[in-house]
Amino acid sequence: MESVKIGLRATAIGMATNVALAGVKIGAGVFGNSYALIADGIESTADIFSSFVVWSGLRISDLPPDENHPYGHGKAESIAGIIVSLMLLAAAVLIAIQSIREIVTPHHAPGWFTLPVLAGVIVTKEFLFRLVFKAADSLESTSLKGDAWHHRSDALTSAAAFIGISIALIGGKGYESADDWGALAACGVIAFNGLRILKPSLDEIMDASVPGEVKTQIEEMASGVSGVVRVEKCRVRKSGLGLYVDIHVHVLENLTVRQGHEIAHEVVRSLKSSRLRVKDVVVHVEPAELDRK
């Protein structure tokens, strides 16, 4: 599917960029005496793995159904989203612990040359966030959105480090740990983004219902099919990048089995051809009583 290729391409660009950024940030952090920058580089290293997880999840979720997976492989995308969110939370905890250690340990102020490095990182990461989030929004991919927020978290961490290092350089003696406080503050943002991705991923694994407006659109489309008297029940769940629908429709009770089947087939065709990415539809046909008055 072409849209999935766009998501894979965006993820691959993110991985390649993170490889370069991780090396630059860790090197500048070591020589510039900035743990905030080193922590930023470590997070970029974790981003490489998380992007690979998302890339793999997208590829697997796009595989067609087979004998062992008759409902397809869509859950792989949700699993990737959970892994990415847990990695964000783990990164927040690890960076917070080390930041606190650096705050209580006396050390020299960071080097001035770390500031232009961070400025370049912020611009690059914000660009990657917009690129990946656009692809995630078009695919309605939870894991890809998690990867995008990973890039935004990295940009925010770098921004916090930039502010902290600036304070340390301007304030002079006594302000050496300002960049570590910046890294610690950024951990809250990273953890928040991890939690905001974890919930929808868990919902998809647990087959939670889709948002009400999506269900309403599906019911309206089914009701609009010629021969459908009304829609009685409608259950919709998201698996991977697609929606799976179970729907009960009422048709006139004096129709033949073939006529009822044709109406059900038209309901399936209508939903699958919509922009809602409906992958499969199960239609249950029920008789609607004729008005005998």
Query: For residue 293, is it within any domain?
Result: no
Measured CA to CA, the distance from residue 191 to residue 188 in angstroms comes to 5
Q: Which of 205, 221, 236 is the last residue of a domain?
A: 205
Q: What's residue 47's pLDDT?
A: 74
Query: For residue 246, is it within any domain?
Result: yes
Q: What's residue 269's pLDDT?
A: 95
Q: What's residue 222's pLDDT?
A: 94
Residues 155, 34, single domain; the answer is yes
Query: For residue 279, is it within any domain?
Result: yes
Query: For residue 79, is it within any domain?
Result: yes
Q: What's residue 293's pLDDT?
A: 44
CB 150 within 8 Å of CB 131: no
Residues 38, 163, single domain; the answer is yes
Q: Which of 155, 188, 205 is the last residue of a domain?
A: 205
Query: For residue 168, is it within any domain?
Result: yes
Q: What is the pLDDT along the chain (293 residues), one digit of tens a residue?
A: 556 777 788 888 888 888 888 888 888 878 777 766 776 777 677 778 778 888 888 788 878 888 888 888 888 888 888 888 888 788 788 878 877 887 777 666 677 787 888 888 889 988 988 888 888 877 777 778 777 877 887 787 778 778 877 887 787 777 767 777 877 777 887 788 788 878 888 888 888 888 888 999 999 999 999 999 999 889 999 887 789 999 999 999 888 999 999 999 999 999 999 888 898 899 999 998 765 44
Residues 164, 281, single domain; the answer is no
Query: For residue 64, is it within any domain?
Result: yes
Q: Which of 179, 205, 231 is the last residue of a domain?
A: 205
Residues 139, 237, single domain; the answer is no
Q: What's residue 19's pLDDT?
A: 85
Residues 182, 53, single domain; the answer is yes
Residues 201, 222, single domain; the answer is no
Query: For residue 116, is it within any domain?
Result: yes
Residues in Cβ contact with 97 at an 8 Å cutoff, skipping those fewer than 6 apart:
none
Residues 216, 179, single domain; the answer is no
Beta pairing, strands 242-252 & 278-288:
parallel
Residues 124, 9, single domain; the answer is yes
Range of the domain at 64: 2-205
What CATH number did the domain enclosing 222 receive? 3.30.70.1350
Residues 16, 39, single domain; the answer is yes
Q: What's residue 58's pLDDT?
A: 79
Query: For residue 27, is it within any domain?
Result: yes
Q: Please report the beta strands in the chain, taking only residues with DSSP state E, as ranges in sequence order.
A: 230-239, 242-252, 278-288
Measured CA to CA, the distance from residue 229 to residue 286 in angstroms comes to 10
Measured CA to CA, the distance from residue 78 to residue 26 in angstroms comes to 31
Residues 193, 252, single domain; the answer is no
280 in helix, strand or coil?
strand
CB 102 within 8 Å of CB 2: no
Number of domains in the chain: 2
Measured CA to CA, the distance from residue 74 to residue 83 in angstroms comes to 15
What CATH number did the domain enclosing 179 receive? 1.20.1510.10
Residues 31, 75, single domain; the answer is yes
Hey, what are 34's tokens? 């900035």
Measured CA to CA, the distance from residue 92 to residue 96 in angstroms comes to 6
Residues 104, 11, single domain; the answer is yes
